[in-house]
């Protein structure tokens, strides 16, 4: 599983990479992260700053939260549906 880096660390890496003094590969080596991570963080920072279109970090977090909540509610609904069917079967005349 990939390592989780704090948001302020990512912002620092992006700030250094955007300055242009070093290449992305040099920035990645200095901060001991992969080149693709730096590129991904820069793309996400562009979206967050309104430079490019896409889902901001806040919107992505909200989508993940809503999907998890939806999955939980669907599971609860399925449990209740099965329980209702079970108890309805018990009350049928024989």
Residue 82 CB neighbours (<10 A): 10
C-alpha 52/C-alpha 90 separation (Å) is 59
Residue 28 CB neighbours (<10 A): 19
What confidence tier does 9 reach under pLDDT thresholds 50, 70, 90?
very high
C-alpha 26/C-alpha 32 separation (Å) is 10
Q: pLDDT tens for residues 48-89?
A: 999 999 999 999 999 999 999 999 999 999 999 999 999 988
Q: pLDDT tens for residues 32-42?
A: 999 999 999 99
């Amino acid at each position: 599983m990939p390592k989780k880096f704090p948001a302020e660390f990512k912002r620092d890496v992006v700030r250094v990479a955007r300055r242009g003094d070093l290449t992305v590969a040099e920035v990645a080596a200095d901060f001991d992260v992969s080149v693709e991570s730096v590129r991904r963080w820069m793309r996400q920072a562009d979206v967050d700053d309104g430079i490019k279109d896409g889902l901001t970090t806040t919107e992505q977090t909200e989508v993940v939260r809503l999907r998890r909540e939806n999955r939980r509610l669907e599971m609860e609904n399925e449990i209740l549906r099965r329980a209702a069917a079970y108890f309805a079967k018990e009350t049928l005349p024989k």
